[in-house]
Structure 1
Amino acid sequence: MTGTTLGTSPYRSYVYAYPHKTAYRPLAGRPGGRPLLSDLWATERKDALSLYLHIPFCEVRCGFCNLFTRIGAPDELTTRYLDALDRQATAVRDALGDDAPVRFTSAAFGGGTPTFLTAGELERLCDIAEKRMGADLSAVPLSVETSPSTATADRLAVLADRGTTRVSIGVQSFVDAEARAAVRPQHRSEVEAALGRIREAGIPVLNIDLIYGIEGQTEDTWRTSLDAALAWSPEELYLYPLYVRPLTGLGRLGAAAQEAGGPDAAWDDQRLRLYRAGRDHLLAHGYEQVSMRMFRRADAPPAGPDDYACQTDGMIGLGCGARSYTSSLHYSFDYAVEMREIRGIIDGFTTTTDFSRAEVGRYVDGEEARRRHLLQSLLQAEGMRSAEYRERFGSDPYEDFPAELERFAARGWLADPADGGSPSARSASGRSPAGGPAASGLLRLAPEGLAHSDALGPELFSPAVRAAMAAYEAK
C-alpha cells in the first residue's frame, strides 16, 4: 500500500504538539490583553509538571531544520540569554505561587543544541532549573539534546553529574554523502567519537536520531546507518522521515518534493519503503515500537513519562522557543524559521525584563482538549483505552469523532479491537502472540496506521486550527 493509493500523502505533517505553533496568535489583541501567568496557573494542578528549557543556538543549521534556532552566538549572546532565562524562571516560579504543591516530574533541555553552551554555562542552566524553578534534576528523568560536534567530554561530565538520564544525539546518517545531501556537515568518524564519549559518560539512556528519505539513499545505505547505530546498542532510536520545509536550507535549494509543489508519489514510496525496512530491522533486533518514530530496546530502563504526557499534564517552558501548557491555554513567544526573524526574537527576549504575562498562544476549549488527547494517545503504538477517555471527558471517542474514526478504519489504519496483546509484542504484520490479553475497549493503530501517522494526525485537527494554520504567514 502506498500513499498514492489512499489518495493522500502519508507525509503531510509531523504532529509533535497540538495545536501547532502556527495556530498561535498574539494575545495582546484579545479582550483583557495579555493574561498574567499568576492568573493562568491559579487553579491548575501543579504537582506533576514537565519542565522544558530551550537553548536556541547551533553551530550549523541542517538543511532540513525548521526549528527555532540560530547559528552561533556572538558578543556574549549566550550569557545575555541565560541572564534572561534566569529572570524568566524567577517570574514564572513566582507566578506558580505556593498555595498548592509545585512539583516537577520530568525535565528536558532542547533547542537548538543545548550543548552549544560551554560546560560552565550548562552548570548555570541546571542551576536555573533547580534553584529558580525548584526541579530536582537528580530525582526526575532529565533528557538533553546534543550533536556530534558539541558532545565533548567536559560538557557530558556536567550533564552526568547533574543527573541527566537520557542524551539524544542527532546523527541522521552515518553515510557521509547522505549527510552532505541533507546539508549536515559531519563525518562518520566524528559521530563515532561522540557516541564513544556519551557511553563513557555513563548516562543511562542513549537515543540516536536517523533520517530516511534523503536524496540518493537506498535500502542498502539505510541499512548501513541502522547497523552503525545498533553497534552502540542505543536504548532508543528515532527514525524520522525527511521533510523539506519552506525557508529551510533544502527548501531554498529547491530539493525534491517541496511541500508547496504537492505530494511527490515517488518520494512518498521511497520513504514508506525505507520506514518499513527500518521498522522491521529494529523489531528483529529486539526493539519495541513506541510510535511511528520511536523504538526502544526491550531491556532499556524506564525513560520516564511518555512523550505526550505534557499534552495532558501541565508544562512549563522557559526560553524564547519554548511552549507552556495549562488546561485552557497553550502559550509561548513569537515563532519564526527565517534566520533574521529568529535573531530579532532572541534579541528581544534577552532585553525583556517583565516575564509576568503570556505573549502568544491559543486557548484550548473542551472540544480541542478531546482532540488533543485522542491525537496524542492514538499516535502511540499502545493506543488509548476508551474507558480512560470516558473517565476524563464523560463521553466516548466514537461518539465525539465518528467520521474520523470511521475513515481511519476504512483505510485499514485501526487495529481490530479483538486483536489482543501489547503493541510492542506484535510483529510488523499486526498479528498478536498466542494467548495475548483481550483488548476490549482499546483504540489503537494497526501497523499500517502507524506508518501513516503523519497523514492521520493532521486529519484530527479541528477546522478552526486548520484555518489558523493556513492563515499563518511564515517568517
Structure 2
Amino acid sequence: MLTSQPTIRPYQSYVYAYPHKTAYGRLDTHPTGRPALRELWAAERKDALSLYLHIPFCEVRCGFCNLFTRIGAPDELTTRYLDALDRQATAVRDALGDEAPVRFAAAAFGGGTPTFLTAAELERLCDIAERRMGADLRSVPLSVETSPSTATADRLAVLADRGTTRISIGVQSFIDAEARAVVRPQRRADVEAALGRIRDVRIPVLNIDLIYGIDGQTEDSWRTSLDAALGWQPEELYLYPLYVRPLTGLGRFGADVEAAADAAWDEQRRRLYRAGRDHLLAHGYEQVSMRMFRRAGAPQEGPADYACQTDGMIGLGCGARSYTTRLHYSFDYAVEMREVRTIIDGYTATEDFSRAEVGRYVDGDEARRRHLLQSLLQAQGLQLTDYRQRFGTLPGDDFRSELDRFEARGWLDGAADAAGLLRLSPEGLAHSDALGPELFSPAVRAAMAAYELK
C-alpha cells in the first residue's frame, strides 16, 4: 500500500553557520576548562584568516531581528566598547604569535549596525583592525553593513578612504507600509537618498537586502521593491524570507509565532521566492545561493581563494564568532534586550581576553557536516575531490541516508556527477532552509533544543 510522503516545510532555519551559537556551551564546565587562545591557535594555519569585527548597536531594532544587538548606546558606551575591542584585539594578536606568518585575506564589520558609530569612531575601528591585528584593509576585501539612517556622507567617506570594497544595506522593502509591518520605520525617500550617497563614494560592490513574506505583500508589491533595487544596479542582492522568532518584536507584539507553521504563509514565501529569483535571473543576475544573487560580471566580495569550510576566522566583539579547526568559540548569546545589555556590559568590563569563554568543539563528524553544509548550500555545489582530499572519504560514504532522501525529493542535480560535483537542483536550492537543518548532528540538535531562550 502506498503511503503519503510527509509534508516538507520549506522554511525551518536559516543556516548561515554550523554549529549554531545556541549549541555552544560554557567552556569553564568542560573537563579541560577554558582553553588559552595561544594554545588553540598554535597549530593552525594563519596565512589566510578572515577578520570580523562586531558592533552590537542599532538605532532601532527591526521586528524580525534576532541578532545580538541593542538599541542605542548611552553614557559613552561606544567608547567603552571600542576600548574593550582594543584590549581584545591586543590579546588575540598576541595569542596568534609570530612563529608563522599571520595574514588576513578578508575583513568585515558587522552587527548590529557598524555605521551606528560616528565617523571618528569608525576611524578608530579601522585602526584596531590595522594597528592591533595587522590587517591591511586597503589591500584585502572589506565588507561593511549599514542602514539607511546611518549611511551618512561623513561615515561613508571614512569607509571608502579606509578601503571598503563592499557595503551592504538593509532595505527590506521600498514600500513604506511593508517596512512598518516588520517594525522598520523608514521612508522610501530616505532609503533612496542613502543609496545615492553610497554610490557617490564609489565603493565597488553594493549589496541590497530585501525581505519577502511580509504581511500583505503581493507579487506586484514584491516586484515594485525588486525594480526599485534594480534601479541602483547593485552588484549583489540578498532575498531573505521573513521569519518570526521568539523574543523578537514581531514575536512579542501582534504577530502570531504559530504563523510559522501556517501552510498559507509557507506558500506565500515560496511563491515570492520564485518570482524574485526568476525576476533577477531575467535581469542578468546569477544565483549564488538561495539568498544571494550577483550581477553578471560584478566583482566578488571576497578573495577568490578563500574557503569558508576550512580557513580560520578571527572574531572580535561580544557577538562575533571565531573558528579554529577544532573549536568554534564566542561570548554568550541572547536576543532579549535586558540580557543583551548585561552581556555587553560584561564585555566592556573585561580585562583578560586570553581565553575562550563559550563554544563548541568540532570533531571529525561535525567537521564533515560543516564542510558539506557550507558547500552544498552554495549554487556551485561541493567539489568531491576537495572533500576526499580533506577527509579521505566521499559525502556518499558519510551521509548516504541523507543524500538518498534529498535525491528522492528532487533536491539534487543528477547531472553534476559527471563534473565531479555534489550540487543542489533549483528545487533543492529553494528548500535550503529545510535541507540544512536535516544535516545537523543529533548532538547539535539536542544542544539547541536544551538552550534556554534569553
Task: Report the TM-score when normalising by structure 2.
Answer: 0.98
Q: Distance in 1 between matches of 2:203 and 2:380?
A: 27
Corresponding position: 1:154 with 2:154: yes
AA aligned to 1:295 is F
Q: Distance in 2 between matches of 1:404 and 1:363?
A: 23
Q: Distance in 2 between matches of 1:130 and 1:345?
A: 26
Corresponding position: 1:387 with 2:385: yes
Deviations 1:405-458 (A, max 9, x none): 000000000011358xxxxxxxxxxxxxxxxxxx43210000000000000000
Corresponding position: 1:249 with 2:249: yes
Q: Give SS of 1:461's match.
A: coil
Corresponding position: 1:235 with 2:252: no
AA aligned to 2:10 is P
Q: Give SS of 1:179's match.
A: helix
Does structure 2 retain, via aligned residues, the 8 Å contact 1:50–1:310?
no
Q: Give SS of 2:15's match.
A: coil
User: What does residue 310 of structure 2 align with?
Assistant: 312
Tell me how far 1:153 sits from its aligned partner.
0.3
User: What does residue 422 of structure 2 align with?
Assistant: 443
User: What does residue 97 of structure 2 align with?
Assistant: 97
Consecutive unaligned residues in structure 2, runs of 5 or more: none
Question: Mean alpha-carbon deviation: is it higher for 296-305 or for 157-166?
Answer: 296-305
Q: Give SS of 1:309's match.
A: coil
Q: Distance in 2 between matches of 1:6 and 1:236?
A: 36
Q: Distance in 2 between matches of 1:414 and 1:170?
A: 31
Does structure 2 retain, via aligned residues, the 8 Å contact 1:126–1:162?
yes
Q: Distance in 2 between matches of 1:178 and 1:189?
A: 14
Q: Distance in 1 between matches of 2:424 and 2:136?
A: 36
Q: Distance in 2 between matches of 1:418 and 1:287?
A: 21
Q: Distance in 1 between matches of 2:396 and 2:230?
A: 40
**Residue among 426, 431, 448 paired with 1:469:** 448
Does structure 2 retain, via aligned residues, the 8 Å contact 1:49–1:310?
no
Q: Distance in 2 between matches of 1:134 and 1:318?
A: 14
Task: Report the TM-score when normalising by structure 1.
Answer: 0.93
Corresponding position: 1:342 with 2:347: no
Q: Distance in 1 between matches of 2:5 and 2:115?
A: 43
User: What does residue 168 of structure 2 align with?
Assistant: 168
Does structure 2 retain, via aligned residues, the 8 Å contact 1:53–1:109?
yes
Tell me how far 1:313 sits from its aligned partner.
0.6
Q: Distance in 2 between matches of 1:82 and 1:97?
A: 23
User: What does residue 204 of structure 1 align with?
Assistant: 204
Taking every aligned residue pair, what percent have the same amino acid on both sides? 82
User: What does residue 407 of structure 1 align with?
Assistant: 405
Distance 1:364 1:306, change over 3 A: farther
Q: Give SS of 1:9's match.
A: coil
Distance 1:358 1:455, change over 3 A: same
User: What does residue 144 of structure 2 align with?
Assistant: 144
User: What does residue 455 of structure 1 align with?
Assistant: 434
Does structure 1 retain, via aligned residues, the 8 Å contact 2:23–2:451?
yes
Deviations 1:33-86 (A, max 9, x none): 110000000000000000000000000000000000000000000000000000
Q: Size of the alignment, in residue pairs? A: 451
Does structure 2 retain, via aligned residues, the 8 Å contact 1:17–1:311?
no
User: What does residue 10 of structure 1 align with?
Assistant: 10
User: What does residue 268 of structure 2 align with?
Assistant: 270
User: What's the RMSD between the two structures over aligned residues?
Assistant: 1.4
User: What does residue 69 of structure 1 align with?
Assistant: 69
Tell me how far 1:388 sits from its aligned partner.
1.2
Q: Distance in 2 between matches of 1:90 and 1:69?
A: 24
AA aligned to 2:60 is V
Q: Give SS of 2:199's match.
A: helix
User: What does residue 220 of structure 2 align with?
Assistant: 220
